């Protein structure tokens, strides 16, 4: 069994001036990239599959050089192979197209993707991969139950505290939810050691080629990034800590 994990490097707490619109795309200037938290859970799920089914594991990312950090984390955790597709984009259809090219060669039985990234918050990549690679799909997977006769039985969240149990034929894309496996602590020593691992490059994200293949899907451009201004922004309670606590108690008392 071969398992591919698609990881993304994301910036955290980006100030407005660092989020730039570049040719209808968003790029982040002067920011470090960290592993998208849900993708870290996807790595743990892959390691569970490695342990349980002796799966061969490979982690991929689409990103610039500084996104390589996510692959070092994958190596340090115990993923067998890693590779990077060079390119900087937040557009999910571009990310998925870049991953697809590599995945067609890797031919995994399972592709694990976090349900969404912390920066874009859309959750599109898994669905695009399943369609583009003609694989089965399960979204918001919270439990890997059993592999049996070329089908994986999983549980997925469907909202409102409910879960659906389903089987998906392999090959399949599983968009995993946080909490699918416990996140294990990674020592600094292991991370440092992983940084000596050479990262295999899998070419560059060919944006114009992809645009030619999926022109309709790319019929949108980012115009402007801004800070949301809400009419109903909270009335802020100020003062020292004691005053704030007293005012809060009055509010609660007045409401109940």
Q: Which of 121, 118, 147, 148 is nearest to 40 (CA)?
A: 118
Question: What minimum distance in Å lies between the beta carbon of 81 and another protein?
Answer: 27
Per DSSP, 159 falls in state E
Question: What minimum distance in Å lies between the beta carbon of 74 and another protein?
Answer: 20
CA distance 40 to 52: 19
Determine the Cα angle at 81 with ends 77 and 85, to 5°.
110
Determine the Cα angle at 147 with ends 126 and 76, to 5°.
60
Contacting another protein (CB under 8 A), which of 52, 122, 192, 212?
Answer: 122
Binding mask 21-60 for another protein (x = CB under 8 A): ---x-x--------------x-------------------
What do you get for the CA distance between the two ends of the chain, in Å?
58
CA distance 39 to 125: 12
Number of residues that bind another protein (CB under 8 A): 86
Question: What minimum distance in Å lies between the beta carbon of 57 and another protein?
Answer: 22
Binding to another protein (CB under 8 A) within 78-107 occurs at 92-93
Question: What minimum distance in Å lies between the beta carbon of 69 and another protein?
Answer: 18
Structure tokens at 34: 């960290």
- Greatest alpha-carbon span in the chain: 65
Binding to another protein (CB under 8 A) within 193-222 occurs at 214-222
**164 or 201, CB closer to another protein?**
164
97 close to 203: Cβ distance less than 8 angstroms: no
Contacting another protein (CB under 8 A), which of 63, 82, 132, 147?
Answer: 132
Binding to another protein (CB under 8 A) within 155-184 occurs at 156-169, 172, 175, 177-179, 182
**55 or 173, CB closer to another protein?**
173
Per DSSP, 16 falls in state G
User: Does the protein bind another protein through residue 223 (CB under 8 A)?
Assistant: yes
């Amino acid at each position: 069994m071969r398992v591919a994990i698609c990881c993304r490097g994301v910036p955290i707490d980006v100030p407005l001036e660092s989020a730039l619109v570049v040719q209808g795309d968003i790029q982040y200037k002067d920011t470090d990239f960290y592993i998208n938290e849900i993708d870290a859970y996807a790595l743990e799920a892959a390691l569970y599959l490695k342990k349980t089914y002796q799966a061969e594991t490979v982690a991929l990312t689409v990103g610039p050089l500084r996104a390589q950090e996510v692959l070092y984390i994958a190596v340090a955790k115990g993923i067998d192979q890693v590779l990077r597709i060079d390119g900087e984009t937040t557009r999910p259809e571009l990310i998925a197209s870049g991953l697809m090219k590599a995945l067609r060669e890797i031919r995994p039985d399972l592709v694990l993707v976090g349900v969404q990234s912390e920066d874009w918050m859309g959750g599109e990549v898994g669905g695009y991969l399943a369609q583009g690679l003609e694989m089965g799909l399960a979204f918001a997977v919270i439990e890997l139950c059993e592999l049996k006769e070329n089908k994986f039985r999983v549980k997925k969240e469907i909202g409102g505290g409910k879960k659906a149990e389903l089987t998906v034929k392999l090959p399949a894309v599983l968009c995993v939810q946080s909490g699918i496996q416990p996140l294990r602590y990674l020592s600094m020593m292991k991370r440092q050691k992983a940084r000596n691992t050479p990262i295999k490059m899998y070419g560059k994200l060919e944006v114009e080629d992809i645009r030619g293949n999926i022109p309709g899907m790319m019929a949108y451009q980012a115009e402007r990034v801004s800070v949301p201004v809400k009419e109903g922004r909270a009335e802020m309670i100020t003062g020292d800590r004691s005053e704030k606590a007293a005012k809060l108690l009055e509010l609660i008392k007045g409401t109940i």
